[in-house]
């Protein structure tokens, strides 16, 4: 391990590039390689190109971007699971990673035995593991199941144990990839609180997530990776706003962009706002279940008085708009002033498991946007049942043979 010149820097990434070969028809046996010499054609797929950044000790950094942009590849490079094609990565301190949870678990050994094996992979000595094993078991909430073979565990139990080991290593640097994919809602909340606790203790954190609310809660700075490059880096809130705007408008045609640039309508700024997502008990929360009733309250300041319609949109983390509707006041436009409050009510939040953002737009009578907040809230939907897709249709099987 190289000791960095500047002791304040935990991780230095300098001019790093990484690509992978995608084979069309690769021969795996010697006979295939001799008889079919034309096999083995591949296409070079570039993931990262000349990427550089520094992460300072005690800092929390979020990595965001669309699927396949290279976020997880960056984390694997930092853990030295894979190595860059060019450039250098220097790390100062013990690293714990929450990437492939449970890697190295032996299915026939008990959960307790696997704690010792997995913790030793992270570099802990036997004495250190003895001191922490009870904390690990308590955090995993496995109780008496800890002495059963892990092959008897459900996938949720397996992931909880793996997370508990990694989070209790007490490393200098923690690399995390999608921590909210672990366990049920209560355990996920517990995981986030643990992350916030170790952040306060001075641990350097690098977090990959599609949950913008999670990134804003944990991270001091944010890095947006797009098209193999760093598209933006800096204050978390500002970078997220750029990313969400790009996710919504980035695929517009040049003709649509030119039309917007030529539009005489002014998009006034909503510069101050607060938002609440309220359940039936009056609690503001960000983790929901399919079918719950939700009340949305947004307080915002607008720079001028105007008559507008109000548009609400819900967008999934991958940029797909799952809902959008424009509202008026029984056929007439709302009169907005400098200080305003708008409320929405969703009787049944019929979304399946995923991460979502809410957008608020003010539009004129022609449908032109004259004010916006993108996003004003992020939330997660959990679903305990085996249902796939985007929306909950309340389908029943009424007969069968």
Which domains does the chain show, CATH number per domain? 9-241 (3.40.50.300), 263-382 (2.70.50.60)
The mean pLDDT of 182-191, rounded to a whole number, is: 68
Q: What is the pLDDT of residue 224?
A: 93
Q: What is the pLDDT of residue 257?
A: 46
Identify which of 50-59, 193-202, 249-258, 364-373 has the greatest average pLDDT. Answer: 50-59
pLDDT more than 90, % of the chain: 26
Region label for 42, one of left (φ > 0), alpha (ψ between -120 and 50) or beta (otherwise): beta
Where residue 266 falls among pLDDT bands split at 50, 70, 90? Answer: very low
Q: What is the 3-state secondary structure (H, E, C) of 150-183?
A: HHHCCHHHHHHHHHHHHHCCCCCEEEEECHHHCC
The C-alpha angle with vertex 292 and arms to 353 and 289, in degrees rounded to 5, equals 30
Q: Give tens-digit pLDDT for 22-42.
A: 766 665 666 666 666 666 666
Looking at residue 363, what DSSP letter applies? E
Which stretch of 59-63, 245-249, 298-302, 309-313 has the lowest confidence by average pLDDT?
245-249
The mean pLDDT of 117-146, rounded to a whole number, is: 88
Average pLDDT, the chain: 81
Is the CB of residue 239 less than 8 Å from the CB of residue 64? yes
The mean pLDDT of 157-172, rounded to a whole number, is: 84
Where residue 185 falls among pLDDT bands split at 50, 70, 90? Answer: low
Rg (CA), the chain: 25
Identify which of 167-181, 287-301, 374-388 has the greatest average pLDDT. Answer: 287-301
CB neighbourhood size of 368 (10 A): 15
Identify which of 16-25, 83-92, 251-260 has the greatest average pLDDT. Answer: 83-92
pLDDT at 55 over 90: yes
Q: What is the pLDDT of residue 252?
A: 46
Where residue 103 falls among pLDDT bands split at 50, 70, 90? Answer: low
The mean pLDDT of 346-357, rounded to a whole number, is: 89
Q: What is the pLDDT of residue 33?
A: 62
Cβ within 8 Å of residue 180, ≥6 positions away:
188, 191, 192, 209, 211, 214, 355, 380
Where residue 102 falls among pLDDT bands split at 50, 70, 90? Answer: low
Q: What is the pLDDT of residue 314?
A: 92
Is the CB of residue 85 less than 8 Å from the CB of residue 17? yes
Higher pLDDT pick, 329 / 249: 329
Q: What is the pLDDT of residue 271?
A: 66
Where residue 368 falls among pLDDT bands split at 50, 70, 90? Answer: confident
Please name the residue that has the structure tokens 């503001």. Answer: 284
The mean pLDDT of 117-129, rounded to a whole number, is: 86
Q: What is the pLDDT of residue 391?
A: 86
Burial class (CB in 10 A: 0-12, 13-18, 19+), 321: exposed
Q: What is the pLDDT of residue 221?
A: 92
The mean pLDDT of 231-235, rounded to a whole number, is: 90
């Amino acid at each position: 391990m190289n000791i960095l010149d500047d002791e304040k820097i935990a991780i230095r990434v300098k001019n790093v590039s990484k690509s992978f070969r995608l084979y069309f028809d690769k021969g795996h046996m010697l006979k295939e390689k001799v008889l079919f010499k034309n096999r083995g054609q591949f296409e070079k797929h570039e993931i990262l190109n000349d990427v550089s950044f520094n992460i300072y000790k005690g800092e929390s950094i979020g990595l965001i971007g669309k699927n396949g942009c290279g976020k997880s590849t960056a984390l694997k490079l930092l853990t030295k699971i894979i190595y860059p094609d060019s450039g250098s990565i220097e790390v100062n301190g013990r690293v714990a990673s929450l990437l492939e949870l449970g890697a190295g678990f032996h299915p026939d050994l008990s959960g307790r035995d696997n704690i010792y094996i997995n913790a030793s992979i992270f570099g802990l000595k036997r004495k250190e593991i003895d001191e922490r094993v009870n904390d690990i078991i308590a955090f995993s909430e496995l109780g008496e199941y800890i002495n059963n073979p892990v092959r008897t565990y459900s996938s949720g139990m397996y992931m909880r144990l793996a997370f508990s080991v990694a989070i209790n290593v007490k490393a200098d640097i923690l690399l995390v990839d999608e921590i909210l994919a672990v366990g049920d809602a209560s355990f996920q909340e517990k995981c986030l609180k643990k992350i916030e606790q170790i952040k306060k203790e001075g641990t350097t954190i690098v977090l990959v997530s599609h949950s913008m609310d999670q990134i804003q809660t944990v991270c001091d700075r944010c890095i947006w990776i797009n098209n193999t490059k760093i598209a933006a880096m800096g204050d978390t809130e500002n970078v997220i706003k750029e990313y969400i705007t790009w996710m919504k408008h980035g695929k517009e045609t040049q003709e649509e962009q030119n039309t917007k640039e030529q539009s005489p309508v002014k998009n006034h700024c909503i510069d101050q706002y607060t938002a609440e997502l309220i359940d039936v008990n009056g609690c503001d929360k960000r983790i929901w279940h399919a079918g719950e009733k939700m009340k949305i309250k947004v307080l915002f300041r607008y720079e001028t008085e105007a008559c507008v319609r109000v548009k609400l949109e819900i967008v999934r983390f991958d940029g797909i708009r799952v809902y959008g509707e424009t509202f008026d006041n029984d056929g007439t436009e709302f009169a907005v002033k400098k200080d305003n409050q708008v409320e929405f009510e969703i009787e049944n939040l019929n979304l399946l498991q995923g991460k979502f953002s809410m957008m608020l737009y003010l539009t004129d009578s022609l449908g032109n946007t004259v004010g916006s907040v993108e996003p004003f809230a992020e939330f997660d939907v959990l679903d305990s049942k085996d249902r796939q897709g985007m929306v909950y249709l309340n389908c029943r099987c009424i007969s069968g043979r």
